[in-house]
Amino acid sequence: MKDVDYVADLDDAQREAVEHDAGPLVVAAGAGTGKTRTLTARVARLIDSGVAPERILLLTFTRRAAAAMTSRAAALCSDPSVTQRMWSGTFHAVAHRLVAEHTQHLGLEDVTVLDPGDVTDLIDLLREEHGLTGTSNRLPTSQSLADIYSRAVNTGVPTRTVMSDQFPWCLDHADAINALLKSYVERKRARGLLDFDDLLLNLRALLADPSVGDRLRARWDWVLVDEYQDVNQIQVDIVRLLRPDGVGLTVVGDDAQAVYGFRGATAEHLLRLHDDLPGSTLVRLERNFRSSQQILDLANVVRPGDLRLDLIADRGASGPKPVHVQCANSDDEAREVAEAVLAAHQEGMDLRDQAVLFRTGTHSNQLEIELRVRNIPFHKYGGIGYLETAHVRDLIAAFRVSLNPSDEISWYRLLTRHRAIGKVSSRTLAARLVEGASPDEVVAEAPAKARTALATTLEFIGAASQTRVPALMVEACHAAVEPLLRQHYVDWGRRAADVEGVAQAAARQRDLRSFIAEATIDPTSVAGDWAKKPHLDEDFLVLSTIHSAKGLEWRNVHLLRASDGALPSDMALTSKEGLEEEQRLFYVAATRARDSLRIYSPLRLPVHPTSMSSRHVLAKPSRFLTEQAVAVMDQVSSAGLLAAPVVSPAGVTRPAASPVTVPSLDALFG
Ligand SMILES: Nc1ncnc2c1ncn2[C@@H]1O[C@H](COP(=O)(O)OP(=O)(O)OP(=O)(O)O)[C@@H](O)[C@H]1O
């Protein structure tokens, strides 16, 4: 047993929160003020004061956060192993566990979870019968339809209003879209499928049910929620139903870091909770333990939100001012970043203490090339989402059809992976497989060029479905998808290790179904945790989207593309809410830095979002770099910009004004 002192490294405000009694507690505080540390210490104090770990429920937004908090709490407990008994996880993972436990009450036979990719596949399957296919005019993508649906469900706002506010180009098709979304709901119900929103809706329904709700409530005395600024209305309802009088409830959050508005979340929930819960205590943490005051001076200027908090650095003014680097273009930006990273490394800083952050995954394309050329190892987090884990999901689709041959969506997905089988044929063939057509019949109905490959796939899937031994089933599924994926993905070399890693992990499971459910809820971490994790003894630079950098910190941070159109994203320029959310992202990025922060504004950006196109447009530095912000930064022009400077009338150094179009090479390939 070790002698534990949770409060030794806490300041007075943090200590107040850790030692607070069972009354409802809201910790609203700025970045780097120790919210996570406080929450973790509170969990450890509860456990060591005799609370049974299974009576504690810790809700987070990512699996990474749940795992990190549990292990940090364990390190503080006198018996670290007990934290394993605590309930902790993301809202969705906890919802899945409870919904799976209560299928009978919900009238479900089983729980099959649809990930966001499955949702668009299912919508794809339904489009034709609702007249939403064809090329005669611009039709909403399946992704937009899924977004409209999820927005409406999460906010309770009718789809028509969602469309007119956020998807005005879809209004012409509003009737057909609504009919399709109704069919989507019916189809899910008929097949016992639950999307992510359904998991939360079902949990809310369970909690609202008088008898089941009472039993569930009685399981936990303590409910702690991290990042409460990111909850949506359904999650608020779940938390309130879990602790109706707020006793035992602790939430922590920072309204200025709310960045999930696109999922229907709003920071107002954090601010409202204290008003709504009589007798609740509000603790504000103002001392920032992460960054130098120079970095916080900038953070305080850019910090949006209603809580007027001025962050004060515990460590004082101990570092350089943040630097604003104006670059000629994105190649120049990539060079500047690579050079600054190497310079710090040569002075003794590990690469892993440095991070490059960006709004969108594609923003680091040029940098990735530059890093490869210079042999700088890096690991990229986030922004990878469903496209990047597509190959993992392909393998999971094979598992799913082997376990359940009437899983139409997974058949559809696997069929579209075959060369020469398009969406239309996939739809028809998936329906035939679900009807129970034999493999021979289906192969005969497939496009001629696809028949050999399809016959092989169906043979392996048939073998997989004959066995209930996970390792054998996984082996057959792996054999079914491997040749398809090798052909389908141009970057297969990079993806092969993921598929291999997930297959190995799956083969070790005793219960493949729950593995599949977990992988469906969080495929990114499946790929990340089991396959792509760099060796722990390796030194590598972190590249991350701002969303995935939440809660983390590095000594040196480089923020790419602080240009209007990139950050804020051009998608957000037209709405006030959208712009506010972008500003919060900017704030999150700036507050990840401990010692040094460099913000880059290329004055010319690639036109195409994939950023490999030859066409560029002029861009202004981000509107968040206001006069006040710039006043607390050092200004630097990159080497590329200095090579051909043009001074504009306003005195700002800019490249030559006319957009330059690099000649296209298309003619070469005509
Ligand atoms: N009382 C303290 N003394 C020393 N260091 C502290 C203290 N409290 C927090 N820290 C350190 O400050 C940094 C930020 O803490 P933490 O990540 O808990 O803050 P946070 O409020 O959750 O941040 P954010 O919301 O920006 O992610 C961490 O390195 C943490 O170890």
Contact 370, 338 (CB under 8 A): yes
Does one domain contain both 240 and 93?
A: yes
Is residue 661 one of the residues assigned to a domain? no
Does one domain contain both 411 and 512?
A: yes
Residue owning the nearest CA to atom 1 of ligand 1: 10
What backbone torsions phi and psi does residue 25 show, to the nearest 5 degrees?
A: -130, 125
Please give the Cα distance from 334 to 191 (Å, whole number).
Answer: 49
Give the tens place of pLDDT for each residue, 520-574.
Answer: 776 554 444 333 344 444 788 989 888 888 888 999 999 999 999 899 887 777 7
- Going from the C-alpha of 521 to that of each of 232, 383, 563, 582, 658, the distances in angstroms are 18, 16, 34, 26, 48
* 38 C-alpha to ligand 1 centroid (Å): 8
What backbone torsions phi and psi does residue 283 show, to the nearest 5 degrees?
A: -110, 130
Choose among 264, 307, 311: nearest CA to 292: 311
Return the best residue to mutate from 27, 288, 289 for the ligand 1 pocket (most ligand atoms within 8 A of CB).
Answer: 289
Does one domain contain both 435 and 514?
A: yes
Is residue 141 one of the residues assigned to a domain? yes
Contact 213, 206 (CB under 8 A): yes
Q: DSSP of 585-631, one letter per residue?
A: HHHHHHTTEEEEEEEEEESEEESSTTS-SSBEEE-PBPTTS-HHHHH
Please give the Cα distance from 320 to 332 (Å, whole number).
Answer: 23
Does one domain contain both 400 and 515?
A: yes
Contact 338, 371 (CB under 8 A): yes
* 489 C-alpha to ligand 1 centroid (Å): 41
Please give the Cα distance from 387 to 391 (Å, whole number).
Answer: 8
CATH number of the domain at 25, please. 3.40.50.300
Domain that holds residue 453: 387-529
Domain boundary among 161, 191, 221: 191
* Residue 59: per-residue pLDDT: 93
Please give the Cα distance from 199 to 150 (Å, whole number).
Answer: 12
* 386 C-alpha to ligand 1 centroid (Å): 31
* 14 C-alpha to ligand 1 centroid (Å): 10
Does one domain contain both 397 and 442?
A: yes
Is residue 647 one of the residues assigned to a domain? no
* Residue 61: per-residue pLDDT: 79
Does one domain contain both 307 and 456?
A: no
* Residue 267: per-residue pLDDT: 65
Does one domain contain both 54 and 24?
A: yes
Does one domain contain both 623 and 482?
A: no
Does one domain contain both 362 and 498?
A: no
Please give the Cα distance from 68 to 57 (Å, whole number).
Answer: 15
The residues pairing with 558 across neighbouring beta strands, listed in sequence order, are: 356, 598
Residues with CB under 6 A from ligand 1: 9-11, 14, 29, 31-37, 254, 257, 289-290, 551, 553, 591
> Reduced to 3 states, what is the DSSP secondary structure of residue 4?
coil
* Residue 246: per-residue pLDDT: 94
For residue 466, what are the contacts with CB-CB under 8 A and spacing of at least 6? none
Domain boundary among 507, 529, 551: 529
Is residue 629 one of the residues assigned to a domain? yes
Does one domain contain both 502 and 615?
A: no
* 306 C-alpha to ligand 1 centroid (Å): 22
Choose among 589, 601, 612: nearest CA to 638: 601
State the closest ligand 1 atom to the C-alpha of 38, by its place in the atom list counted from 1.
18
Does one domain contain both 260 and 302?
A: no
How many CB atoms within 10 Å of residue 468?
9
Residue owning the nearest CA to atom 15 of ligand 1: 34
Does one domain contain both 422 and 394?
A: yes
Rounded to 5°, angle at Cα 398 from 393 and 404: 115
Query: Model ipTM?
Result: 0.98
pTM exceeds 0.90:
no
Q: Is 68 exposed, middle or buried (0-12, 13-18, 19+ CB in 10 A)?
A: middle
Q: What is the mean pLDDT of each run of 10 residues along the chain (670 residues)?
A: 64 93 92 91 91 93 78 79 84 91 85 85 86 68 88 85 85 89 88 88 93 94 92 91 95 78 68 86 90 94 74 87 94 94 94 93 87 86 57 90 89 93 92 94 95 96 92 94 88 77 84 79 49 53 87 94 90 77 92 97 75 67 94 88 51 41 45
* Identity of the residue numbered 45: R
